[in-house]
Amino acid sequence: TTEIEWWDYDDAAEMADAVAGDIGFIIESAIDARGAAVIALAGGKTPLPIYEKLAKAKIDWKRVTIIPGDERIVPLGDALSNVTAIGKAFLPKGARVIPLVSATAPDYKAAGRAADALLQDLHWPLDLVLLGVGGDGHAASIFPGPDFDEALNGPKERRALGVMPDPLPPEAPVARVTLSKAALTSARAMMIAVTGDAKRQVIEDAVKEGQSSPYPIGRILADVELPVDIHWAP
Ligand code: 6PG
């Protein structure tokens, strides 16, 4: 179980400034310590203003590798593609942005195996995982469905897998590739950024319930050993 600290802001822009500053600090510390930084960023819409701010930071971006913590199985360039949104902010800066999903896998499980193989070659553990949270308590793409147990309790060495959410999330009703809980919780730092009262309530409930939480975010937080900062704006 982890220590959790909430950081509340007046609005999303103020949150973006603060979180971009914190992520920039983590990246620079990793570069100082190890010559490079490898981070996983959240998909979805909430973090986009954070990425816009962060991309403006004076960082040696060539030393930074970024992966999405999860990906919708859609073609690169699709409006639902997390890596496309992340790449828009950071590719022009010279960062290495790695797609988790390639167009060639025959099904979502194969897509997951391919993503895992790709990540096995990456410098590990990750220096940072930034997570968003869904109104249904999902984080990364760990959703209830046939692959739920494997995403939460699969082999520790498995970094990514394919998942078929059931029901399909309305904001992006497609299969996903996600980092496993083991991969997420092994990172050197974890941060969460969310907006709105509903998500705050979900996270507070999830934290109280811990390992027995029906919410994926509760199961993840119950397994993290480092302090986690949760950034929140209305
Ligand atoms: C995804 C995400 C996901 C996201 C939440 C919140 O690809 O769907 O990575 O875990 O963080 O769904 O999304 P919003 O920020 O758009 O509400």
pLDDT value of position 2: 79
pLDDT value of position 104: 81
Ligand 1 close to Cβ of residue 42 (< 6 A): yes
Closest C-alpha to ligand 1, atom 6: 134
Which of 138, 215, 232 is the pocket-test mutation for ligand 1 (most atoms within 8 Å of CB)? Answer: 138
Q: How far is the centre of ligand 1, averaged over its atoms, from the C-alpha of 28 (Å)?
A: 26
pLDDT value of position 117: 97
Residue 103 has pLDDT above 90, yes or no: no
Residue 1 has pLDDT above 80, yes or no: no
pLDDT tens digits, residue range 189-208?
A: 999 999 999 999 999 999 99
Closest C-alpha to ligand 1, atom 15: 46
Ligand 1 close to Cβ of residue 139 (< 6 A): yes
- Of the chain, the percentage scoring pLDDT greater than 70 comes to 100
pLDDT value of position 98: 98
Residue 34 has pLDDT above 90, yes or no: yes
Please identify which residue in the block is written with the tokens 């919410």.
215
> Cα angle at 88 between 168 and 93, to 5 degrees?
145
Average pLDDT over the chain, rounded to whole? 97
Domain 4-195+210-220, CATH: 3.40.50.1360
**How do beta strands 64-68 and 37-41 pair?**
parallel
Q: How far is the centre of ligand 1, averaged over its atoms, from the C-alpha of 183 (Å)?
A: 18
Check if the beta carbon of residue 18 is closer than 8 Å to that of residue 7: yes
pLDDT value of position 105: 85
Q: How far is the centre of ligand 1, averaged over its atoms, from the C-alpha of 176 (Å)?
A: 12
Domains of the chain: which residue ranges?
4-195+210-220
**Is this structure's pTM higher than 0.90?**
yes
Q: Which contiguous run of DSSP H or E holds residue 119?
A: helix 108-120
pLDDT tens digits, residue range 65-94?
A: 999 999 999 999 999 999 999 999 999 999
Q: What is the mean pLDDT of residues 13-34?
A: 98
pLDDT value of position 132: 98
